[in-house]
Chain A
Amino acid sequence: MADLRSDFLGIKSPNPFWLASAPPTDKEYNVVRAFQAGWGGVVWKTLGEDPHIVNVNGPRYGAIHGPDRRLLGLNNIELITDRSLEINLQEIRKVKREWPDRAIVVSLMVPCEEPNWAAILKRVEETEADGVELNFGCPHGMSERGMGSAVGQVPEYIEMVSRWAKAHTRMPVIVKLTPNITDIRYPARAAHKGGADAVSLINTINSIVGVNLDNFAPVPEIDGKGSHGGYCGPAVKPIALNMVAEIARDPETQGMPISGIGGITTWRDAAEFLALGASNVQVCTAAMTYGFKIVQEMISGLSDWMDEKGFTSIDEIVGRSVPNIAAWQYLNLNYVTKARIDQDLCIKCGRCHIACEDTSHQAITSMVDGKRHFEVIDEECVGCNLCVNVCPVENCITMEQIHGVDPRTKEPIPDEYGNWTQHPNNPMRVKEAAE
């Protein structure tokens, strides 16, 4: 059986599944229940300075649902912990003592002054927690007070605070990044430069989850008004995956450990984050939707998949997909595919046809010899994969590589790899040749 043990910056946990800093890790009661359920670690909900902040007393969450009420995306306007620093620290110390094999990292957010950071780091160290995570991510409430994503959006601040943190504690320092920026590599590089040991990402995305069409208040609504909140859950996973991969393949931050966060709901999601360069993962929305028990599916699923693939440890998976991420200009333009419809699986809904006919390349029939029949016209198919994605039957439509002459262009398909940098239509290439 695969070994799921995780070592992140020297912080050991029985599996790579941690609960992210969020409502599920706000207090001892929840964290103990999480450990009982099997979670490998937690990042304790962000601590701040006393007097503790207050939260709204109306709705804090809004959601996007599928028609079956499956929760696809969640948004929140909750702030950092609204309990006193002392109570949190006492509970952290107690839980760490009772659960020595589990990871406890403490999330922190204080004003951008060195003494403030020095003071709180000292107090956290006394709890014997395993590490700290600097919350430079929260996009609502705290950011307007110069904290959270207000820091995370300015690389110079990230570097500065990371440096203070490293100077004032022996604990490993993780910097949690906000996705509300244009290029995630800059804040990651700043954390690296400041001496941070790792980054974790993504925090939530600025969002308005909906509008009440009766009173025109945004959702969630507090007495007729609403604020933008942080978006998370399955819907944000692709954004998070890309940001993790961007950092993983950036030469300036190469080798810096990443804790992957963003819509992780199943073992598959976790495996994808690991493959794209995360060394462990943090989960929140899935637990808030289904309860802590879901970690059991994640553990068994990851373990069974690793056994099936012959992987024995998490390290063997981490970063395995990174070499396969290429810039567009290096994709092989001589890889020519055509869609293939399995007529035995086809249920004749015609969605491939209408999607292709209305919005793409008119490459799928609807009628052949007077009968309802859907097949690909190779002379028109550009291999775009849209039909595969809209088909309701899994594996009914697949993409097949062809060789020889492309029926669409009537041109021979070169056997060798060829990309845009080499393409005759590329003006840069022409320029290079002329020089």
Chain B
Amino acid sequence: MASQSDAGAPDIASGRLAADEYARNFADLHPPMTAHEALVEADRCLFCFDAPCMTACPTSIDIPLFIREISTGNADGAAKTIFQQNILGGMCARVCPTETLCEQVCVRVEGEGKAVRIGELQRFATDHFMSHSGTPFARAPETGKRVAVVGGGPAGLACAHELARHGHAVTIFEARPKLGGLDEYGIAAYKTVDGFAQEEVDFVLSIGGITVETGKALGRDLTLDSLRTDFDAVFLGMGLAGVNALRAEGEDLDGVRDAVDYIADLRQADDLAGLPIGRRVVVIGGGMTAIDMAVQARHLGAEDVTIAYRRGRENMGASTFEQELAQVNGVRILHWVKPGAVIGNGSVREIELERTRLDEAGKVVGTGETIRLPVDMVFKAIGQTLVEEPLSGALTIEGGKIAVDAEGRTSLPDVWAGGDCAAGGEDLTVQAVADGRDAAQSIHRALYA
């Protein structure tokens, strides 16, 4: 019997939309607040004692203080309060899932169900500062100490900045052509528009004392041993370069792609109209990457986009806000299904999903019941993994990530790690910043011990 998979060629095309539609679809998700809007919103902050929002922030930004500074007309002072704890405060203001961090615990939620818009206020302050000024910090005199930072993402940038502030000479080694990590290559385009990621990189580097070497990957162009020989300390913040496989039949068919690779292409595209996208798209996964992929597929003109996730709504890594964002953008979210097989002849034409449930032990198991969806592209967004080979067995690994203590120290005395490649904490930009900053302070202490 002829299956649908034999019928016709896959419908993958670029330029599905008019130029103004691309511009509209990829414009700022939250347009910046006006000065008056910021004043009115700042007035909602109660300046809580021992504020829960501050405790919930992985970088412990003094949120009540910076909001009060906004309310008194001192947006630059507010920005300095933010940068003091988080030099990537501008990006975090855009990409933090505030609804599960600071804004979740805002006492206004308890009072009236509506948190102070902390993320947007933070953006107001940091944008104001960055629009007219470089680094707010003075660099300490040169110490003569040299530190290697592997990876120029949020963890590496935060670490390098903090070390440079203390007067150390830092070299960032970055495998890709640009710094910024997932801020530049991952994360949905509508969350960080107008080249903000590079603007922020320049802002971070303006402290001075940081040398950048792009196109240098650990294991390919560098070894951990050589870094340890050439530098006084090494910080590893190279993220997770590997991607999980579906382990389903047909995974290698044309039209099956890693979501992170596709998003990187999208973020680097000069012209979004030149980016091919399927008419019918299925995204496998339940995290932020799955949502970013699905929503952007819709924004590129895909007609029918489904997220397939193997557990329930409450188990999704993506926040409720993100799930709803997908839904209002016309993405269908299917819960309790896992990929069975990808079907096609050279190119993917259909995907078979098996319904799932929890067994007595609480493990996800297939029920045997399957459904088939016609599809032109399948995106895998089921998590990234640490590429361990470059570490050549020198470091202790824990749960697939580099084992670190509370200060970011690895099992080697002169090597620290942080961000997504290190164990512990959520894989968020703000967590990476906290890791990098704290590791830098630990390195600084160690260099003078």
Using a CB–CB distance below 8 Å, which chain A residues touch chain B?
66-69, 347-351, 353-354, 366, 372, 392-393
Contacts and interface: CB of A to CB of B under 8 A. Distances in A.
14 contacts: A67-B42, A67-B71, A68-B39, A347-B107, A348-B48, A348-B107, A349-B48, A349-B107, A351-B47, A353-B49, A354-B49, A366-B49, A366-B50, A372-B50
B208 interface: no
B52 interface: yes
B111 interface: yes
B42 A348 contact: no
A68 B39 CA distance: 7
Given A67-B40, A67-B42, A347 B49 contact: no
Contacts of B107: 347-349
A350 B40 contact: no
A350 B105 CA distance: 13
Interface in B20-74: 36, 39-40, 42-43, 46-52, 71
Contacts of B46: 349, 351, 392
Nearest to A213: B73
A68 B48 CA distance: 20
B210 to A, nearest CB: 37
B108 interface: yes
Contacts of A372: 50, 52
B110 interface: yes
Contacts of A366: 49-50
A348 B43 contact: no
B71 A350 contact: no
Contacts of A66: 43
B46 to A, nearest CB: 4
A66 B40 CA distance: 9
B108 A347 contact: yes
B39 A67 contact: yes
A408 B426 CA distance: 48
B74 to A, nearest CB: 12
Most chain A Cβ neighbours within 10 Å, of B47, B71, B107: B107
Contacts of B71: 67
A187 to B, nearest CB: 39
Contacts of A354: 49
Given A67-B43, A392-B46, 15 more contacts: A67-B42, A68-B40, A69-B36, A347-B111, A348-B48, A348-B52, A349-B46, A349-B107, A350-B49, A351-B46, A351-B49, A353-B49, A366-B49, A366-B50, A372-B52
A366 B50 CA distance: 9
Contacts of B36: 69
A40 B373 CA distance: 75
A372 B51 CA distance: 10
A366 B47 CA distance: 15
Interface string B110-131: 1100000000000000000000
A350 B50 contact: yes
Contacts of A392: 46, 111
A408 B395 CA distance: 61
A151 to B, nearest CB: 41
A432 B49 CA distance: 49
A347 B110 CA distance: 5
Interface in B89-142: 107-108, 110-111
Given A67-B39, A68-B40, A68-B43, A350 B48 contact: yes
B111 A351 contact: no
Interface residues of B, number: 17
Contacts of B47: 351
A349 B47 CA distance: 8
The 8 A-B pairs of least Cβ separation, nearest first, read A350-B49, A67-B43, A354-B49, A347-B111, A347-B110, A347-B107, A349-B48, A349-B46
* Chief secondary structure at chain B's binding surface: helix
Contacts of A353: 49
A79 B46 CA distance: 41
Interface string B339-370: 00000000000000000000000000000000
A239 B223 CA distance: 77
B289 to A, nearest CB: 34
Contacts of B50: 350, 366, 372
Given A67-B43, A68-B43, A393 B111 contact: yes
A350 B110 CA distance: 13
A68 B44 CA distance: 10
A348 B110 contact: yes
A396 to B, nearest CB: 9
A350 B39 CA distance: 23
A366 B36 CA distance: 34
B107 to A, nearest CB: 4
Most chain B Cβ neighbours within 10 Å, of A67, A354, A392: A67
A362 to B, nearest CB: 13
Nearest to B105: A348
Contacts of B39: 67-68
Contacts of B110: 347-348
A66 B36 CA distance: 12
B49 A349 contact: yes
Contacts of A349: 46, 48-49, 107
B146 to A, nearest CB: 45
A109 to B, nearest CB: 40
Contacts of B40: 67-68
A68 B36 CA distance: 8
Contacts of B48: 348-351
Contacts of B49: 349-351, 353-354, 366
A31 B71 CA distance: 39
Most chain A Cβ neighbours within 10 Å, of B36, B40, B48: B48
A77 to B, nearest CB: 25
B77 to A, nearest CB: 15
A333 to B, nearest CB: 32
A350 B40 CA distance: 22
B72 to A, nearest CB: 9
Contacts of A68: 39-40, 43
Nearest to A374: B49
Contacts of A350: 48-51
Nearest to B71: A67
A349 B46 CA distance: 7
A261 to B, nearest CB: 30
Most chain A Cβ neighbours within 10 Å, of B47, B49, B51, B107: B49
B139 to A, nearest CB: 31
Nearest to B41: A67
Contacts of A351: 46-49
Contacts of B42: 67
A348 B318 CA distance: 28
Contacts of B111: 347, 392-393
Nearest to B48: A349
B66 to A, nearest CB: 15
A67 B110 CA distance: 23
A63 to B, nearest CB: 15
B343 to A, nearest CB: 54
A290 to B, nearest CB: 19
